[in-house]
Amino acid sequence: MGTRRPLATLRHGWRAFERVTRPVDERIAAALDRRWAELPDGVKTPEQVLGRHAVGCEGTHGVFPKCDLKCTPCYHSRDANQVRVDGAHTMAEVEAQMALLRERRGPVAHAQLIGGEVSLLPPDDHAATLAVMRAAGREPMSFTHGDFDYAYLERLALGPDGRRRFDRLSFAAHFDKFMYGRRGIERPPDERALNPYRQRFAAMLARLRRDHGVAYFIAHNMTVTPGNLDEVAGVIRDSHAMGYRMFSFQPAAFLGDERRWKEHYRAATPDAVWAEIERGAGARLDWRVVQHGDLRCNRVAYGYYVGRRWFPLLDGDDPRDVAARDAAYRHFHGMAFTGVPPLLLAARLARLVVRHPGLLATTAGWLTRAVRRVGLLRLARNGFRARPVTFVMHQFMDAEAVAPAWELMRRGETATDPEVRATQERLAACNYTMAHPEDGTLVPACVQHAVLDPGENIALRRLLPLVEVRTGARPGSTAAGHDG
């Protein structure tokens, strides 16, 4: 009797350990298999990451549509700035949207807290919303123009008791010269003039880590039009060492508020933008070796800087690197990485290697090639430090293309017109999903912005009206600022 209880406790502990260190989570694997089955045949390529390692990105909508800068173009509909920012509404809506995403797309994913300007949410509401997203298994990233102070960031990261409430925060900060109203630089004359602001934002996160031990991931977002196309390379060259781990470029589309369409955006073609990104990185960027959804929507190049030079994680021209990618897709299928504590991740990887010892040789081979590419001398000169930096281009579609294609898809029809059909193919392989708990549907972000946002914001305008302030200063002025 005396030894039975400790034995039972030991057995129980061992079972719990065995369960938690299992490399593959069957629920994640099943969600990935469902995702793969839903993809159109045209994108089921060997390079495709959706359905193998990820289900794709998710984003919120209709939660805080208001913004206090003016951008041209702006993907928010014209009523967005007539909606009051309301923390309780944001939390409730985000919770419902995340619940549907979890139910339909599995227990883990990356999700963007996006809508208008996230820093207009009071810090406690912002923090509570991030907690709601984490509770649904989502790794949240807050979208911002970055024009807020350190005090806001600190109040977001720390609870009212002054204790850290997040171990890690992620932001996507949008900077480009078509954003008007930033404090200190109302109308940026060029992209270079924004560099101190890019630096300031990255420095705030670095300070937060120093002061409070909060790890961070920051992405740099930029809209590209013919008006700043030839400045893209300079932005990368000037900003690559500021601390941004991702540089994401969005060639402008005719989407959102049509009052803010100012140029002939189509001249900034995907190839022209990608060539500029390559010029800035000083390297050829292979966007085919890892595919996210449809290549007409997304181009991604993973890699790292050693000193001032960027190197790819995988060389698509080297069959051994391609084989390493395939092995990673095969063996990491159903394995969670983001947000997993390092020790736990190490234990899971160790079990994976025990089961598939060939992984060790594959990893060693890949590492040897990576070191050779960089060169031992360069590595030594840079203290054997590599800074991971990913380059991304996301090409939204024009509203006039999306609307008819989506209408046919809703009726279960495939278009006969080749252009409309191409739009349908892209929507069907979408890498960026938004949830509608009211009717249980998931929609591509293009559909959200092109078709659903206008009606949604009109309804929100009634639900969350701006509060009139009687200052007598300006006829029609409101507490919530400009109307975009």
| Residues found near ligand SF4 in the complex (CB under 6 A) | 293, 297-298, 394-397, 426-427, 430-432, 444-446
Write down the least CB distance from residue 161 to ligand SF4, Å.
Answer: 40
Of 160, 187, 256, give the one whose Cα is nearest residue 457.
256
CA 73/CA 61 separation, integer angstroms: 18
For ligand SF4, give the closer residue by CB, 194 or 300: 300
For ligand SF4, the closer of residues 399 and 480 by Cβ is: 399
CB of 43 to ligand SF4, least distance (A): 11
Query: 293 or 454, CB closer to ligand SF4?
Result: 293
Alpha helices in 4-72 (DSSP H): 4-20, 26-38
Distance separating alpha carbons of residues 308 and 361, to the nearest angstrom: 30
- How many CB atoms sit inside 10 A of residue 281's CB? 23
Phi/psi at 418 (nearest 5 deg)?
Answer: -60, -35
Phi, psi angle pair for 414, to nearest 5°: -95, 130
Both structure tokens of 236:
């990368």
CB 116 within 8 A of CB 80: yes
Phi, psi of 85 (to 5 degrees): -80, 125
**Sign of dihedral through CA atoms 12, 14, 17, 22?**
negative
Taking the C-alpha atoms of residue 237 and residue 221, their distance in angstroms, rounded to an integer, is 15
- The dihedral built from the CA positions of residue 468, 474, 479 and 484, taken in this order, carries a sign that is positive
Distance (Å, rounded) from C-alpha 124 to C-alpha 128?
Answer: 6
Nearer to ligand SF4, 199 or 269 (CB): 269
**Burial class of residue 23 (count of CB atoms within 10 Å of its CB; 0-12, 13-18, 19+):** buried
Q: How far is the CB of 81 from ligand SF4 (least distance, A)?
A: 22
